[in-house]
Structure 1
């Protein structure tokens, strides 16, 4: 069973399942996040929905590039979570199933191509508090705990 973060599903509401991929882009003691201006300004792990017929890793590369302008190297899958949310850009109530990967930013190729997104470097200690959704925060905190234990 995949852990849920955020609000529970509303009784009687139909949700469309939306699989997505997201990255913790670690470089030293900072992560590369995306700041999305609309509908509510917030910091997020870069990533997004997997298109029909698309495989998760190419989708992750595409989404991170669109939201940050960076080329990445994927290291490993860290886990997954789900959340129930309204997606105003699609006028859709969604059950987002979010797979999170550890990746390394390799090279900045240009600015984000997705409107309303900015690439932002955040100290990991700040990111754990500032990422906009509880699933992103929990995945980062879990990774940092594992990483600290592995480096001790």
Structure 2
């Protein structure tokens, strides 16, 4: 599985953290989430899978919490790993990030996740704004397969 992000720190123990994320395209426009803390950044909506939770159910829950949108999942694009410190949980994690292509179908309200804002932007702009290199790589792949 491809790895993105910072190098593994020798001697550091990482705990597994599976997660699901969505490339949410409407034509050539992307629905992202802006997370204010611990540092401001644009992201693909998504997050961790709770114990016993099905990955697609987790994707629906996380996207709704971070954007307020109901989605229709089209297909799984792939997965990657990243090793990182998660300050909001005070832990070092080996994140296994599974990325899905989906489309937003209904806005149900504002995001319920504190510190998150739903932001629509041109997909080409999102390639520059999203800070996570793995997410950017999967977004670029999805855009190559979308009609112009």
TM class, shorter-chain normalised?
A: over 0.9
Cα distance, 1:125 vs structure 2: 0.4
CA deviation string 1:37-91 (max 9, x = no partner): 0011000000000000000000000000000000000000001111111111110
The TM-score normalised by the length of structure 2 is 0.97
1:126 partner SS: helix
Alignment size in residue pairs: 148
**Regions of 4+ moved over 6 Å:** none
Q: Does 1:98 align with 2:97?
A: yes
2:145 partner SS: helix
2:34 matched residue in structure 1: 35
CA RMSD in angstroms comes to: 1.0
Gap runs ≥5 in structure 1: none
The TM-score normalised by the length of structure 1 is 0.95
CA deviation string 1:81-107 (max 9, x = no partner): 111111111101001100000001000
